[in-house]
Chain A
Amino acid sequence: MQIIFQQIINGLSLGSIYALLALGYTMVYGIIKLINFAHGDIYMLGAFWGFYVINEWHFNFIAALLSSMVIGAISGVTIEYFAYRPLRHSPRITALITAIGVSYLLENGMSYSFSSNTRSFPQVIKQHSFDVGGVLISNIQILILVTSCVLMVLLQVIIKKTKMGKAMRAVSVDADAAELVGININHTISFTFALGSALAGAAGVLIGLYYNSIDPLMGMTPGIKAFIAAVLGGIGSVPGAAVGGFLIGVLETFFQAIGLSAYKDAVVYVVLIAILLILPAGIFGKNVKEKV
Chain B
Amino acid sequence: MLTVNDLSVNYGVINAVKKVSFEIDEGEIVSLIGSNGAGKTTILKTISGLLRPKNGEITYLGTNIKRHGAPRIVAEGISQVPEGRHIFPGMSVKENLQMGAFLIKNKAKIKANLDEIFERFPILKDRINQDAATLSGGEQQMLAMARALMAKPKLILLDEPSMGLSPIFINEIFDIIQKINQQGTTVLLIEQNAKKALSISDRAYVLASGEVKMTGSGKELLANVEVQKAYLGG
Contacts and interface: CB of A to CB of B under 8 A. Distances in A.
Interface of A: 163, 166-167, 169-170, 173-174, 176-184
A167 B87 CA distance: 13
B102 A181 contact: yes
A65 B11 CA distance: 48
A184 B103 CA distance: 10
Chain A contact residues: helix, strand, loop or mixed: helix
Contact of B82 (A173, A176, A182): A176
A169 B74 contact: no
B71 A173 contact: no
B95 interface: yes
Contacts of B147: 181
A43 B82 CA distance: 40
A179 B50 contact: yes
Contact of A182 (B50, B70, B98): B70
Given A166-B91, A169-B91, A182 B102 contact: yes
A170 B88 contact: yes
Nearest to A177: B86
Given A163-B102, A166-B95, A166-B99, A180 B90 contact: no
Contacts of B1: none
Interface string B84-114: 0011111100010011101100000000000
B9 to A, nearest CB: 16
B82 A183 contact: no
22 contacts: A166-B95, A167-B102, A169-B88, A170-B91, A170-B99, A173-B90, A174-B86, A174-B89, A176-B50, A176-B82, A176-B86, A177-B82, A179-B49, A179-B50, A179-B69, A180-B50, A180-B82, A180-B148, A182-B103, A183-B71, A183-B102, A184-B69
A174 B85 CA distance: 11
Given A177-B87, A182-B71, 6 more contacts: A166-B95, A166-B98, A178-B88, A181-B100, A181-B102, A183-B99
Contacts of A173: 88-91
State which size class the interface on B falls in. Answer: 20 to 34
Contact of A180 (B75, B79, B95, B98): B79
A166 B100 CA distance: 11
Contacts of B98: 166
A169 B90 CA distance: 9
Interface string B47-60: 01110000000000
Nearest to A179: B70
Contacts of A169: 88, 90-91
A181 B151 contact: yes
Contacts of A181: 74, 79, 99-100, 102-103, 147-148, 150-151
Contacts of A166: 91, 95, 98-99
Contacts of A183: 71, 99, 102
Contacts of B186: none
B80 interface: yes
A170 B99 CA distance: 8
A173 B147 CA distance: 16
A279 to B, nearest CB: 20
A180 B72 CA distance: 10
Contacts of A179: 49-50, 69-71
A254 to B, nearest CB: 34
Nearest to B97: A181
Q: Which of A167, A178, A179 has the largest count of B CB atoms less than 10 A from its CB?
A: A179
Contact of B74 (A167, A174, A176, A182): A182
A179 B74 CA distance: 9
Given A163-B102, A166-B91, A173-B91, A182 B75 contact: yes
Nearest to B85: A177
